[in-house]
């Protein structure tokens, strides 16, 4: 009897905790929406920010975030794809494979501010790109390498063995196998990686705040050495003036736009991942 009572008690406790956790996290999302929604007047996405961000919209900030996202992924994708295919298709030493995997994991967990520090020195100072969107994109490209690699690797390694065997029987060279079989079959995995990478870049602040961005006065970059404004740093600066209610309201608005962007990208990534799993089960 007593054991049953204890069991009931423990069960009650952990179920309450679970409900509370889910409730807390849903509350966070609700707060973001409630706080951000009032700032989203009809032109919020299509107006310049005025009065040091206290009024107007986030047109150029959004543009800056998009520029960084797209360039970073374009730079990162060939390296991620090439390195994964090399590791899975060509490399035969098991030890080297494990080492490279560990390298991916460590890179994935490295605090993002360190990418900013080292990246600024390398791209900004040594390659003379300065504080600019190019420096920022290069830094972010290195940062998301592991994200892309993990997704692509998952897809390549999940490929049924019979596909490769069919290719070999047909006498395809390894290169032909790659672009006739592996790349088309892993399409959904690669797209998943791209969208997860985009989401990660969209949410990143620490790595770009002193390497790629500026607060106001700049619109679209005119050359490769111009900095851009971004949503992330826009929020950071407005939030630090938290005493000013107008700034804070604008920060919430920008926050809602940012989180909307990140969630949308993540959900698209998941949709492609589900597609990938379904295909591989055929």
Which residues, numbered 90-129, are part of the site for other proteins (CB under 8 A)? 90-93, 95-96, 99-100, 102-118, 120-122, 124-125
Site for other proteins in 72-91 (CB under 8 A): 78-83, 85-87, 89-91
Q: What DSSP character marks residue 213?
A: B
**Could you report how far apart the first and last alpha carbons of the chain are, in Å?**
51
Give the number of other Cβ atoms within 10 Å of residue 166's Cβ: 13
SS3 category, 217:
coil
Which residue, 42 or 95, is less far from other proteins as judged by CB? 95
Scored b (16 or more CB within 10 A) or e, 25-54 reads eeeeeeebeebbeebbeeebeeeebeebbb
Which residue, 42 or 88, is less far from other proteins as judged by CB? 88
Site for other proteins in 162-221 (CB under 8 A): 173-175, 178, 199-200, 202-206, 209-210
Which residue, 42 or 128, is less far from other proteins as judged by CB? 128
Which residue, 5 or 42, is less far from other proteins as judged by CB? 5
User: How many residues bind other proteins, per CB under 8 A?
Assistant: 91
Quote the CA–CA distance of 115 and 207 in Å, as a whole number.
6
Site for other proteins in 221-260 (CB under 8 A): 232, 235-236, 239-240, 242, 248, 251-252, 255, 258-259
Quote the CA–CA distance of 247 and 15 in Å, as a whole number.
40
């Amino acid at each position: 009897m007593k054991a049953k009572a204890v069991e009931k008690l423990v069960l009650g406790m952990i179920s309450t905790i679970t409900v509370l956790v889910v409730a807390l996290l849903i509350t966070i999302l609700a707060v973001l929406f409630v706080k951000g929604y009032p700032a989203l007047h009809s032109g919020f996405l299509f107006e310049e920010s005025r009065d040091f961000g206290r009024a107007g919209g986030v047109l150029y900030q959004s543009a800056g975030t998009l520029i960084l996202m797209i360039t970073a992924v374009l730079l990162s994708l060939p390296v991620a794809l090439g390195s994964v295919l090399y590791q899975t298709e060509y490399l035969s030493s098991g030890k080297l494979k494990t080492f490279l995997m560990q390298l991916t994991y460590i890179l994935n967990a490295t605090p993002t501010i360190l990418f900013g520090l080292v990246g600024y020195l390398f791209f900004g100072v040594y390659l003379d790109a300065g504080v600019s969107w190019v420096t920022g994109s290069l830094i972010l490209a290195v940062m998301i390498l592991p994200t892309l690699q993990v997704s692509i690797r998952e897809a390549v390694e999940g490929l049924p063995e019979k596909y490769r065997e069919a290719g070999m029987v047909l006498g395809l060279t390894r290169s032909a196998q790659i672009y006739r079989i592996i790349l088309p079959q892993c399409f959904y995995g690669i797209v998943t990686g791209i969208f997860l990478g985009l989401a990660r870049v969209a949410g990143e602040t620490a790595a770009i705040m002193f390497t790629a961005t500026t607060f106001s006065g700049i619109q679209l970059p005119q050359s490769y050495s111009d900095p851009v404004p971004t949503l992330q740093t826009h929020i950071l600066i407005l939030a630090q003036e938290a005493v000013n209610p107008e700034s804070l309201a604008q920060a919430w608005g920008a926050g809602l736009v940012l989180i909307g962007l990140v969630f949308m990208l993540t959900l698209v990534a998941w949709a492609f991942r589900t597609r990938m799993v379904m295909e591989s089960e055929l």
